[in-house]
A = this chain, B = another copy of it.
Amino acid sequence: MKISTKGRYALQVMVEFAEHEGEVLSLKSVAEAHHISLKYLEQIVQRLVKAELLVSFRGANGGYKLAKTPSEITVAAILCATEGSLSVVTCMDKHVCGNDCHCRVRKCWDKLNALIDDYLQNVSLSKLLAD
């Protein structure tokens, strides 16, 4: 039950973009600063672009910057975009649980998922910076 490097790197990097709000930062510099493989980070950042959390600028002096203000970008959105989903059990995604789904456990997972989601929806980048 771990968040992968995709989500963790994304969050790290988004904090960096928030710290330099407005500035266009090249991935090369960001990847070096965080000791992350540039090519891996490119893939991660693509997801953030598709989720409209970052905007990209091509060409020389290009790079990325936040698509919204830090207060409008939540940790939930970042993790959702990069990890795929926040739910802690796959059957929640697929709407199928193992065998016959008489699954007494389901309500517990539902509540847990809701709990996690509620919390992370309420943590924005600006909140992170304030800490």
Residues of A within 8 A of B (CB): 1-4, 7-8, 11-12, 15, 34-35, 75, 79, 83, 86-91, 98-99, 103-105, 107-108, 111-112, 115-116, 119-120, 123, 128-129, 131
Residue numbers in B under 8 Å from A11 (CB-CB): 105
A104 near B8 with CB under 8 A, answer no
A119 near B123 with CB under 8 A, answer no
A sample of 17 more A-B contacts (CB under 8 A), given A1-B3, A15-B105, A111-B119, is A1-B83, A2-B87, A2-B88, A2-B89, A2-B90, A3-B88, A8-B91, A8-B98, A11-B105, A12-B103, A12-B105, A35-B98, A75-B108, A107-B131, A108-B123, A112-B119, A115-B115
B112 near A79 with CB under 8 A, answer no
Residue numbers in B under 8 Å from A129 (CB-CB): 104
